[in-house]
Amino acid sequence: MDDILVGTRKGLFALRGTEIGRPSFLGAAVTAVLQRGRTIYAAVGHGHFGAKLHRSRDGGESWEEVAAPSWPPKPTDADDKSPMTGAPWPWSLDQIWTLEADPRDPDALWCGTIPGGLFHSTDGGVSWRLLRSLWDRPERKRWFGGGYDFPGIHSLSVDPRDPRRLLAGVSCGGAWLTQDGGESWSVASKGMFAAYMPPVKRDDPAIQDPHRIVRCAGSPDVLWAQHHNGVFRTTDGAKSWSEVTIKPSSFGFAVAAHPRDPETAWFVPAVKDEMRVPVEGALVVTRTRDGGKSFQTLRAGLPQKHAYHLIYRHGLDVAPDGQTLAMGSTTGALWLSQDAGESWTALSRDLPPVYCVRFAT
């Protein structure tokens, strides 16, 4: 089975088979991971000492610190404040939130951060460039934080047909699409709506809160978004989105898209925003196999009584086989399913709070 990396509040854990190996970066938050072959990138948050990026070329045996994305000097005359809170936008890295590689060039990396910066590296993380094309968009100032003081880019999806096409998901700033490798951008969250905003702002695509956006690699015009107040799906490459309703709840953070079947995706519902716990204390995964028309509620092997696990937005992943899934919770449990979510096995219930779970590709 493929390796699974688990980034937690207190270190990085690697699974080979079902064995949890010795941790890396023990004590530090690991907020994003990416593995391609033997190369692993780990985003490490040191709290007082900031967010760093480490790289391993030997499957995690040894690590070297590479460059963390960094902002250019903030212009002294910049009127760069959040219109919602009045707080000046920091031009400084707080957290690395997501890492993606270009499928055709493993040294070409994209990184999404809090505050909402998109960075590109062409040298495996040795150096980074802020994409001013997105950062300087006037709409960026209107993005606002969801769960953090400032907004962030948590989802990056490279179109496997053409790596110049990239979609970025922002909480709370909608979805953004480039067709030209980041030279220019258009907002790509039409059809999403924001129940948490005044009616006049409800349909503003640049203030939507997609918690997570993932793509069906084999059918790249199909993407799924677990949004703050619902689930949305697009079948036209994010030109438009349609709402999908899930029982027992459409609230959640995580979504995983089947790598080949555009009709299949998995979600982990929770009681909506002010609660953020499983419905009736029972943890379930929901799966659709018909494009969101209907859902199966999958419980086997998951705790069904007094279970208060939350699955963060990067806490659920599906392997390239489309059958194996891994899921990690805020309570420090880690589950594996080898039958497309029908049943789950707990590999641990004692890890630190899990931020991200990811299969090697």
Partner 1 sequence: MGLVPRVTFTANLRRHVDCPSADVPGATVGEALAAVFARSPAIRGYIIDDQGALRRHVVAFVGGEAVRDRVGLTDAVAPDAEIAVMQALSGG
Smallest distance, Å, CB 74 to partner 1?
A: 6
Residues 21-40 that bind partner 1 (CB under 8 A): 27-28
When asked if residue 70 is in the footprint of partner 1 (CB under 8 A), the reply is yes
Tokens found for residue 55 = 């790289």
When asked if residue 132 is in the footprint of partner 1 (CB under 8 A), the reply is no
Q: Which is nearer to partner 1, 48 or 306 (CB)?
A: 48
Distance, CA of 24 to CA of 273 (rounded, Å)? 33
Q: Return left, alpha or beta for 191; rule: phi > 0 is left, psi -120 to 50 is alpha, else beta.
A: left
- Tell me how far CA of residue 46 lies from CA of 55, 123, 163, 361, in angstroms: 16, 24, 32, 27
Contact 116, 150 (CB under 8 A): yes
Q: Which is nearer to partner 1, 128 or 143 (CB)?
A: 128
When asked if residue 122 is in the footprint of partner 1 (CB under 8 A), the reply is no
Binding residue for partner 1, selected from 19, 22, 48, 198, defined by CB under 8 A? 48
When asked if residue 148 is in the footprint of partner 1 (CB under 8 A), the reply is no
Smallest distance, Å, CB 66 to partner 1?
A: 11
> DSSP for 232-279?
EEESSTTS--EEE--SS-S-EEEEEE-SS-TT-EEEEE-STTTT-S-G
Binding residue for partner 1, selected from 22, 73, 200, 305, defined by CB under 8 A? 73
When asked if residue 293 is in the footprint of partner 1 (CB under 8 A), the reply is no
Which of the ranges 63-71, 160-168, 195-203, 340-348 carries the binding residues for partner 1, by CB under 8 A?
63-71
When asked if residue 350 is in the footprint of partner 1 (CB under 8 A), the reply is no
Collapsing DSSP to helix, strand or coil, 130 comes out as strand
When asked if residue 127 is in the footprint of partner 1 (CB under 8 A), the reply is no
The total of other beta-carbon atoms located within 10 Å of residue 139's CB is: 17
Which of the ranges 88-96, 166-174, 241-249, 324-332 carries the binding residues for partner 1, by CB under 8 A?
88-96
Binding residue for partner 1, selected from 71, 148, 196, 308, defined by CB under 8 A? 71
CA 139 to chain centre: 21
> DSSP for 175-208?
EEEESSTTSS-EE--BTB--TTS-GGGTT-GGG-
Q: Which is nearer to partner 1, 47 or 83 (CB)?
A: 47
Burial of 291 (0-12, 13-18, 19+ CB in 10 A): middle
Smallest distance, Å, CB 70 to partner 1?
A: 5
> Minimal CA–CA distance to 12: which of 34, 147, 342, 300?
34
Smallest distance, Å, CB 93 to partner 1?
A: 6
Question: Interface with partner 1 by CB under 8 A: which residues?
Answer: 27-28, 46-50, 52, 65, 68, 70-71, 73-74, 91-93
